[in-house]
Amino acid sequence: MRQRLLPLLAASPLQELAFRQGEFLPVFVAHRLAQPEHGIRGHQPEQLREQLEWLRRHRWQLLSLSTALQHLEEGRPLPSRSVVFTIDDGFQDQYDMAMEIFGDYDCPLTLFVITGFLDGALWPWDDQLLYLIHHCPLPALNYQPESSPDSPPLHLPLGDEEQRRQALYTLRDHLKLQPNHQIYDEVSRLYRLAEVEQPSGPPRPFWPMRWDQARDLVRRGHHLAPHGVSHRILTRLNHQEARREISNSRQIIEDRTGFSSSLFAYPTGRSQDYGQREMALLEDLGFTAGLTTEPGHLRPHHLTGPQRYALPRFGLPTSLADFCQYLSWIEMLKDEWRRLRRR
């Protein structure tokens, strides 16, 4: 029932009426294409095509993020059926996704890339954890962080796929809360604890896109924007390290592609991953907006004052029903409820 009802409601005249009551823009963030044989959870190509086909069939406007923000900045009304897509990180399969799926629907993307990853200088620490957990031969992993030797050790069972998935989430969340300046050293230590040989570079399922491919995306009308140099959590770095992560990543994109962006997406983007310091850094460095992964519609009031450095995005869901709910006035009402509760 829900699978049929939500797409109907998102395409109904109620959508137009709700939009006239207050503009709202769904901004989605996509990550990887699914590769279950490598432990990578993500989007199935046929599901992405189903969502994009639904948007085209119901005459939604596929806008670039910069175009949508420019409309809101200038006080020009958005089309009432507008949607924005972004992608985070910069993996090879994301280039393929941009070219072969979003390209078929003339959908502009903003790709927030980890510049050290595209430079070949590193393999993002959180994706190394996925590889490590997927390949660990042990029945359980016992982990005691070097930075907090007095805290209780983590006991992470690895008996089946669900336990491995939960172990990955637990380990990621734990490391996000630790000081991040030495996080890549800590990941190397985890390889030894897990009895997994650390690859010298990312294996094929974790390859980054190349800079020539990034330039190709720009030529085709997509935008590149910084997502940090190393994907470390900014709130877990000191002031100078956080500033370098932001400013250097923008400069590297400009040096490699000639494209300059005033948009930034916080690594992992949860509420605890950025704060007043990070928002002030973006403003001081001349950025016009910061993107989070906190759910919610983008509204005109978000671009007044410091809120412009904490813009919401929905994680792109896999089901058409969930996708249509995020598009619709139903989710707008949920936005209002969340806002009232915060007050």
Contact 27, 65 (CB under 8 A): yes
Classify residue 150: in a domain, yes or no. Answer: yes
Distances (CA, A) of 292 to 60, 269, 322: 24, 4, 20
Classify residue 106: in a domain, yes or no. Answer: yes
Classify residue 165: in a domain, yes or no. Answer: yes
- Buried (b) or exposed (e) across 243-256, using 16+ Cβ within 10 A? bebbbbbbebbeeb
Q: Are residues 109 and 91 part of one domain?
A: yes
Q: For residue 251, what pLDDT is reported?
A: 98
Residue 262 has pLDDT above 90, yes or no: yes
Q: What is the tens place of the pLDDT at every residue in 84-136?
A: 999 999 999 999 999 999 999 999 999 999 999 999 999 999 999 999 999 99
Q: Are residues 144 and 180 part of one domain?
A: yes
Q: Are residues 112 and 234 part of one domain?
A: yes
Q: Are residues 175 and 141 part of one domain?
A: yes
Q: Are residues 219 and 91 part of one domain?
A: yes
The CA angle 30-34-38, to the nearest 5 degrees, is: 130
The amino acid at 30: A
Q: Give the CATH number of the domain where residue 40 resides.
A: 3.20.20.370
Q: Are residues 106 and 162 part of one domain?
A: no
Q: What is the tens place of the pLDDT at every residue in 21-45?
A: 568 899 999 999 989 998 898 999 9
Q: What is the tens place of the pLDDT at every residue in 149-173?
A: 777 889 999 999 999 999 999 999 9
Q: Are residues 135 and 165 part of one domain?
A: yes
Q: Are residues 96 and 38 part of one domain?
A: yes
Q: Are residues 246 and 167 part of one domain?
A: no
* Rounded Cα distance, 154 and 95, in Å: 36
The residue segments making up the domain with residue 134 are 125-194
What is the number of structural domains in the chain? 2
pTM confidence score = 0.93
Classify residue 203: in a domain, yes or no. Answer: no
Q: What is the tens place of the pLDDT at every residue in 309-333?
A: 999 999 999 899 999 999 987 787 7
